[in-house]
Structure 1
Amino acid sequence: MRDDDAGRGAASGTGQEPDAGNTDDAAGDAAEATAVAATARAEFDAFYAATARRMVAVVYALTGNLADAEDAVQEAYARAWAKWTRLQADGDPAGWVRVVAQRLAVSSWRKARNRWRAHVRHGSAAAVPELGPDHVALVAALQKLPKDQRRVIVLFHLYDLPAETVARELGCSAGAVRTRLFRARQALAEHLGEETAPESAPAASSAR
């Protein structure tokens, strides 16, 4: 009986010892997860460095407000990092960031516009600080275009997207994109001419 008890005790003691193989597997899994996370971070950082500057330019051209454009783009990239693996699998993270940044910028602009209107109704307009830096001539001219023309100019010329990609993003045909581009270029040329026209011209004509 005592020999049997001793055998059972020895077996029981052996079962309580840690499994070296399982420990090694766990350590290997942890190291692999760390490596995967580091790779994902490096890939995202490279993606950000390659696309962020142009992304700000695109959103700025659409909204006309540099501060709002920068804020919207930063928030869009933060959201992209939160779902980076899925965006990589989808194959077009830049397109996703661009769409999100544009929506955020438009939302921010609408909120700012509503705050301004409320202030004008209930307070002194003279007390409102300046709304930001002067727009460059191109951005000022873009703001005069209809929204569909402005977007097609920005996406095609500033972001260098092909007409087919612009069409998918705008939900129209490639032919419609080309038509909008033609009309937008004509209108933009006229507005740029207005922006650069000499200020003395009206005075000279009125003097006659």
Structure 2
Amino acid sequence: MTEDFDSFYSATARRVLLHVYAVCGDLGDAQDITQEAYARAWQRWSKVSAYDDPEQWVRTVAWRLAANRWRGFRRWMSARSRLGRPDVVASPSPDRVAVLAALQELPDAQRRTVVAHYLLDMSVDEIAASTGTPAGTVKARLSRARTALATLLDDSPEVPDVAVRS
């Protein structure tokens, strides 16, 4: 059965792909649709192989899959048009960019802890319970993260250490 399907696939896949590509106009979509059509043929191979033209069955399935994608796209476009133009979103503030960049500098465990505590408003005990980490470790991570963030986000100008004479 496997060899029979393999030879069928080898003999017909290129033609089916070209057919689907002509229908939908996008090679990536055509490859996905063709793959799905052959997967469905494989699932029903004992029945499909008995048809007069199994390739026609695969092309029909592929056509229907392409049509369903097109219908889904049309529904999406229709819904988008009913919603109107999307609101213009302002670019992130320099402070937000700086905070995100500083968070990326933290070790993963500290970053996850800080985000859970400050952005998700989770208590130390909630973080400990959700991560399976002792509360003392959560507190230590928060402390280390705050210290690191203070250094990373310090924008005060460097003042040289100069002795003052009077």
| TM superposition score normalised by structure 2 | 0.47
Higher-RCO chain (CA-CA 8 Å, sequence separation at least 6): 1
| TM superposition score normalised by structure 1 | 0.38
Return the structure number with greater helix share: 1
